[in-house]
Structure 1
């Protein structure tokens, strides 16, 4: 009886467990009674309460909403099934009738909303700034309403927005609209919206990712003053500009416009005296070069197909501050005019053309901040009139035929940050005992592939503050330099980094701090003061005749990523301290007279053997040559000691592990045996 009763109890318990388990599974798989979050429902209910509904219209979705029900079941609402957040509010053609109130706007509290569709809802008034709170919004459809006033600045906060429809709205007070870098996922954009913006004076739709054709669909009825159409897939010059007589800022760069800049652009009434910025760079414009208005301040025509000599009429542009004609086919000499006619010129970029002859002293405006004439065929002496440009920050003359000694007067330029004399015929020493070679703000120093010679004193780099501490703060003049139109005429230099030549562009200059004196005839020892330049990223002193040992002070360069000391006459051992440079990803010590074992370190050992070749006395990994005698014995001893320690550690961990495993196994085995014994006893 006892055995039978026990079996019944066990069976009853098993049935109860099964029933409870089933109930739990059913409960867990069933959705909660109210999925919608309370704050989301309150925001929606407040939104509904703002309007005077149009009665019992069949298309009035909010008529079915009930405050005591789950808002995720309401018409026009879609929720996230896991979180209950409202993702989609679609009240298209719901005849809400009324303004979107800016004081309460309840909609701005739906911060997880991705899709908002209020098209053709008889809405009017100003668009509320609270729309800018919907940072996850990808679709916003407000067309077919009667909105007026200005487009709120907060719309710019919608970084995820890919679709915006506001057609038929009467934003008559809107004066400035910036839709640049807006990704419409290659969709169509209805540009008829601009026909209603009668107060619009500034429009920027640069880099708008759309498949629409601007030149045939974009029309403006308002007097536009500032227009930016950069990178908009334009293939012809916009004809609607014929009606614009108040234009003072025009950017149509980075398109595919071919042919000539139309002459009618400069014959528009009043335009000759108003336009101050014109950017036609990165197109396919050809000759003739446009006749420019005297009022122009900024001109960028780089990356086109202009050829022939640079017109001397440019000299008459006495308001010109920025002139960028890089990457064309200009030939002949540089016009001799800027110093005499224009003292305002701050940026002169003529890189990568076929300009020849001497650099005329008269072409140096005392106000220059940036000068780039690299990759031409200029020859003769370096223009000494540059010493009067006390605000000069960027100087690049790479890949020319300048034949002169080092311009020691450059140390008189207090703001010089980038100095590139690479690949010319400069010669002689770069050190003068008459004065210090201090460059307190220098970030890039590239004098490679010249004929410089002589030795450098031990303290040569002691006055290079910017590379030592990096505490320099840009002043107002530099802010002016990187201000208007800076992105349209990017600075560029070729930099040897990690054994390869890379082109440094634009904002990359803020990152790199480098010294390249390779490919010259320098002698003597590497200055120990090189260790002061703690902010340096790239150091290249290869292909010279440096002697002596590698200074251990190099280990202070904790930010160094690339180091090239190859093809010199260096001797002695590799400093073991170099193994501490954790950012040093590439190094080359080949073709020297170094000796001894290669230091053990992750960064050094990860290098290819070619980084150490042709040093007869070097030995050890990654070279195939092993070290002999005491050196090899020391290395092997260290390896053996490491192996012994590893085996001891493994043994210490193994014994307790085996013991614990045995004890746990014994307990589990005993427990399992006893449990099975009792189980079969109950069911026997």
Structure 2
């Protein structure tokens, strides 16, 4: 009876409200406590599990239960001393703090308070739960964990296998001594500071390590001398970690996901990357990698996502050149002379230095990239110096039958516009690629999944805008600005009259500026009721605008 009373008292301390949860829990939230009543044994209630031998409540799963209200510091929940699992994720307890009495539940093995809108400081008493195997406080946007409590937790939780503190404000040095039992560790967005050391990679059971979005994490990627790690996912994206990626990265033979984007890595991507034969996702964008894309990447047969965009030359050669000379103004005969090299330093990208213009990436994309037949997404955008030969381009499009995202913005392809593209493609960006040829109807056929098509700034693309005879395309963004496409815009641009809800009437953006379009403004564009941006400037369109003013007219450039 005591357990029933405690649970009913807990139920009565909250309201049920669906409005907070319509976008959470994949639509699977429901009020578990609503059915709780004394006419049934509490062990049969939704979310409640009891020990079959002694009848004690050992598990309480009220995740996604639409609970709203203040969590009382002396909640009756803390009378359930035999609890081993407590899951209150995806409820709304704001602005309550996690109660100090949480430390009374000494038998807890699994505690999940993620996405529950708890606020303020996490109590020291949470570190008393020394039997914990998993602790999830993730998405605790207002939660703060002081350095001492964090250290005590890591010291006391000797059986801990899963720790997720994503978005908890720790503002602490990165831990050095952590439990060897850990399998999953997420300290992303926690304001960690310090240097990433080798100790993380020597943990015998660690499979997932997420340290991303901690810009006070510095230093270089440690050289690993021992390769028997079980690590399957490593994310240090958007940290201050810099320097060269060591050859020893190739010893992480179990890795499935490697996320290094938004760091300060420089030098070449090591050939040993080809040893990561289990890898499915490589995210290397927005660094300062130089040199060629290693051909060993073709060994990565399981790769589904590859992003090498936004990388650049390092500054070492230019700095060496600078150091070879002294600057003296008296020797100059130029009225406008100034010491351009004086401002050169490693704190800024060399491409922003006075007198320097960069080829941001360089070299030919290896044919071997076309062997990655399992790719779902490929990003090589902003590859200003990258070249992709016509044959490799054709082979890629033929082999990548599962490809959904392809971004080659600013890669020099110098190839005819492709005719046959994968029907699985949702996003295609071939802007600034020196494509040539004629835009044809195949891009707009209903068999395609294309939602975004970007072909802008290819002045060798010619012909007229194709007349579309079938309308049930998923296209939401179309950009063919600054091409050589000319002639009249056909009435069919707005007459995609299929009753299918996902037709071109779903278009959000059309960019047709700086072409050679002539003739009247097509009134059928008014049928595009979801249109938000339309730019048709710098053409030779003539005649009056439609008399009926569309809702998006404020966004339109004439």
Q: Which residue of 2 aligns with 1:317?
A: 203
Q: Which residue of 1 aligns with 2:455?
A: 565
Q: Which residue of 2 aligns with 1:230?
A: 114
Task: Select which of 304, 325, 330 maps to 2:190.
Answer: 304
Closer/same/farther in 2, CA of residues 345 and 335 from structure 1, 3 Å limit: same
| Count of aligned positions | 431
In 1, distance between residues paired with 2:521 and 2:495? Answer: 9
Structure with greater proportional helix content: 1
Task: Give the 3-state SS of the residue equivalent to 2:397 in structure 1.
Answer: coil
Q: Which residue of 2 aligns with 1:371?
A: 258
In 2, distance between residues paired with 1:465 and 1:589? Answer: 25
* 1:409 has 2:296 as partner: yes
**TM-score normalised by length of structure 1:** 0.57
In 2, distance between residues paired with 1:334 and 1:136? Answer: 47
* 1:449 has 2:382 as partner: yes
Native 8 Å contact 1:459 1:529 kept in 2: no
Mapping for residues 94-109 of structure 1, pairs under 5 Å: none
Task: Give the 3-state SS of the residue equivalent to 1:395 in structure 2.
Answer: strand
Which consecutive residues of structure 2, in runs of 5 or more, have no partner in the other structure? 5-10, 13-29, 49-53, 313-360, 497-504, 523-535, 544-558
Give the deviation of 1:407 after TM superposition. Answer: 3.5
In 2, distance between residues paired with 1:318 and 1:251? Answer: 21
In 1, distance between residues paired with 2:220 and 2:161? Answer: 26
Task: Select which of 501, 513, 517 maps to 1:613.
Answer: 513
Q: Which residue of 2 aligns with 1:625?
A: 540
Which consecutive residues of structure 1, in runs of 5 or more, have no partner in the other structure? 1-96, 101-115, 118-134, 157-170, 468-512, 629-684
In 1, distance between residues paired with 2:67 and 2:541? Answer: 62
Q: Which residue of 1 aligns with 2:133?
A: 248
Give the deviation of 1:345 after TM superposition. Answer: 0.6
Give the deviation of 1:224 after TM superposition. Answer: 1.3
Closer/same/farther in 2, CA of residues 370 and 422 from structure 1, 3 Å limit: same
Q: Which residue of 1 aligns with 2:412?
A: 521
In 2, distance between residues paired with 1:277 and 1:136? Answer: 27
Task: Name segments (4+ residues, structure 1) moved above 6 Å.
Answer: 135-138, 604-610
Task: Select which of 373, 376, 390 maps to 1:440.
Answer: 373
In 1, distance between residues paired with 2:508 and 2:200? Answer: 53
In 2, distance between residues paired with 1:578 and 1:137? Answer: 52
Closer/same/farther in 2, CA of residues 409 and 599 from structure 1, 3 Å limit: farther
Task: Give the 3-state SS of the residue equivalent to 1:308 in structure 2.
Answer: strand
Q: Which residue of 1 aligns with 2:489?
A: 598
Mapping for residues 157-168 of structure 1, pairs under 5 Å: none
Mapping for residues 337-352 of structure 1, pairs under 5 Å: 337=224, 340-352=226-238
Native 8 Å contact 1:192 1:219 kept in 2: no
Native 8 Å contact 1:181 1:209 kept in 2: no
Native 8 Å contact 2:58 2:82 kept in 1: yes
Give the deviation of 1:590 after TM superposition. Answer: 1.2
Q: Which residue of 2 aligns with 1:465?
A: 401
Mapping for residues 477-516 of structure 1, pairs under 5 Å: 513-516=404-407
Native 8 Å contact 1:431 1:456 kept in 2: no
In 2, distance between residues paired with 1:277 and 1:186? Answer: 28
Native 8 Å contact 1:561 1:584 kept in 2: yes
**TM-score normalised by length of structure 2:** 0.69
Closer/same/farther in 2, CA of residues 407 and 188 from structure 1, 3 Å limit: same
In 1, distance between residues paired with 2:148 and 2:281? Answer: 31
* 1:186 has 2:69 as partner: yes
Q: Which residue of 2 aligns with 1:294?
A: 180
Native 8 Å contact 1:518 1:540 kept in 2: yes
In 2, distance between residues paired with 1:520 and 1:173? Answer: 65
Task: Give the 3-state SS of the residue equivalent to 1:218 in structure 2.
Answer: helix
In 1, distance between residues paired with 2:440 and 2:148? Answer: 58
In 2, distance between residues paired with 1:578 and 1:331? Answer: 57
Task: Select which of 345, 349, 365 maps to 1:430.
Answer: 365
In 1, distance between residues paired with 2:86 and 2:99? Answer: 15
Q: Which residue of 2 aligns with 1:383?
A: 270
Q: Which string of whole-angstrom CA distances, capped at 9 and with x for unpartnered residues, describes residues 188-218 of structure 1?
A: 4576434443432111112331244323343
Give the deviation of 1:187 after TM superposition. Answer: 4.6
In 1, distance between residues paired with 2:213 and 2:244? Answer: 20
Greater Rg over alpha carbons, structure: 1
Q: Which string of whole-angstrom CA distances, capped at 9 and with x for unpartnered residues, describes residues 328-353 of structure 1?
A: 0211211112x724421100000111
Native 8 Å contact 1:584 1:603 kept in 2: no
Closer/same/farther in 2, CA of residues 188 and 580 from structure 1, 3 Å limit: same
In 2, distance between residues paired with 1:618 and 1:524? Answer: 27
In 2, distance between residues paired with 1:275 and 1:526? Answer: 55
Native 8 Å contact 2:71 2:97 kept in 1: no
Closer/same/farther in 2, CA of residues 564 and 296 from structure 1, 3 Å limit: same
Task: Give the 3-state SS of the residue equivalent to 2:217 in structure 1.
Answer: strand
Q: Which residue of 1 aligns with 2:527?
A: none
Mapping for residues 75-90 of structure 1, pairs under 5 Å: none
Q: Does 171-180 or 589-598 show the bigger shift?
A: 171-180
Give the deviation of 1:265 after TM superposition. Answer: 2.3
Q: Does 216-225 or 598-607 show the bigger shift?
A: 598-607
Give the deviation of 1:595 after TM superposition. Answer: 2.3
Give the deviation of 1:228 after TM superposition. Answer: 1.4
Q: Does 339-348 or 393-402 show the bigger shift?
A: 339-348
